[in-house]
Homo-oligomer: A and B are copies of this chain.
Amino acid sequence: MDLFEAIDRRYSYRGAFTDAPVPRQDLQKIVQAGIQAPSACNAQVTSFVMVDDPTLLRQIAEIMNRTPCPTAKAMIACVADPQPVYHALSFSAEDCAAAVENILLAIAALGYATVWIDGALRTKERAERIGELLGVPAGKKVRVLLPLGVAAEPGQQREKLPFAQRAYFNHYGSTG
């Protein structure tokens, strides 16, 4: 799929998924897109656990307690490592987000749907509980969860503000 078409088609999906599986070959292609995202100093501190075991999927869905997790045919747990890589600075949030965006585009291009779950992981120790289920080592953290599958219902990208309200030439707020 053309890049700009994938950018147009990517959207956040919170409906049910069909029974269609997500083959491992597709999961690998999707996660490879994330691996190829840039990272600060090319330190590559983001890693990924691809979940397709039905028991684990059910356990994670119970922890998350929100759509579209219960019907997800696979999940990708994006794991960040907050170690400093440039002077005393960590870029683990940025690195992880760049990888997630590549993954979202790959998911759209391959005909699947997902939603970027982040904030909900930060409450009720969900990130920690999922990390424990998946054997994530101490010091690393499940930062983003992506439940995926084939969308059972239609959906589309949410409306964005007009270009002129978010982008300017040479001066913030300029109109020309």
Contact = CB atoms under 8 A, between A and B. Distances in A.
B31 A171 contact: no
Contacts of A172: 47, 49, 79, 134-137, 140
Interface in A41-72: 42, 44, 46-53, 56
Given A3-B2, A172-B47, A173-B135, A158 B87 contact: no
Q: Which size class do A's interface residues fall under?
A: 35 or more
Nearest to A77: B172
A106 interface: yes
27 contacts: A3-B33, A3-B105, A4-B33, A4-B106, A7-B105, A37-B101, A40-B118, A44-B161, A47-B167, A48-B166, A49-B167, A49-B168, A49-B169, A50-B167, A50-B169, A56-B170, A89-B119, A89-B122, A93-B94, A94-B118, A97-B97, A98-B100, A98-B101, A102-B105, A105-B105, A135-B174, A137-B172
